[in-house]
Structure formats: structure tokens, C-alpha cells
Amino acid sequence: MPDATHPILSKHPDWIGRGHDGQPCHYNNSDYYFNAYHPQVQQFILDLIAESMDKYPDVDGIQGDDRLPASPADSGYDSLTVARYRATHDGSLPPADFRDSLWVNWRLELLNSFVEKMYRVVKAKRVRQ
């Protein structure tokens, strides 16, 4: 778990992605994934992109690698995402198997919606510049 000095997660511990085991999603036991399904995390990223475009209008692009907006395959088991799933699935919990096709597709739709928002933010900024 990131320590209390992490600049963002120390202020927003609910922003960390959680795997099917309830543990924080990480890479190499040190790099932690933000919860890409969390609306506040998504808004933070959108605001960061917009601010970057305002401050650095000559930048040609933004590279997100495998973490923008993606999450590990076993993520989405945080309390907020589980509550969102339950609200849209008659109160059912997400499947324990993170590879379940319905669960995978539901999470992908959340990420696709986020990418659509990101696209609109970037296009709107580009038109104004």
C-alpha cells in the first residue's frame, strides 16, 4: 500500500484501484493503479489534460501507456465500483471471477465512456487554441 507521503493517494485513499482479492492493484509492489472507474479519478485526469493543453499548447500529444484509462484485468472491486455495478444489476455483486465476460464488458464500457469524454475535452481545447 502506498505510504502517507504519496502526493495524491494520501489525500484520496479511495482513489486506489482494488483487485478481486480486495488488495490495492499495483505493478512491482510499488507502482499503484488509480481506480480508472472512479468518476473523481476520471475528472482529475481530464482536468490534468486540459491544464496541460492550456499551459503547453505546442505539445503534440499525451502518452498514457497502459494506464490511461486502463486498469489491471482484476480491478474494479473497490466499494464505489461494486456499488455502481450493483445499482445496474439488480443488486447482484460482481462475479468473483474477474474474467467473467459480462463483468469485463461492463468495466470496458465505463472506460470507453471515459475515453469519449477525454476525446471531447481534447477536441474542445484544440478548437479554442
Residues 6+ apart with CB under 8 A from 78: 14, 16, 17, 18, 35, 37, 38
**CA–CA separation, 127 vs 53, rounded Å?**
12
pLDDT at 66: 65
Q: Collapsing DSSP states into helix, strand and coil, what is residue 128? A: helix
d(CA 61, CA 69): 15
Grouping H, G, I as helix, E, B as strand and the rest as coil, residue 34 is strand
Quote the pLDDT of residue 129: 58
Q: What is the pLDDT of residue 59?
A: 79
Reported as a single tens digit per residue, the pLDDT across 75-102 is 999 999 999 999 999 999 999 999 999 9
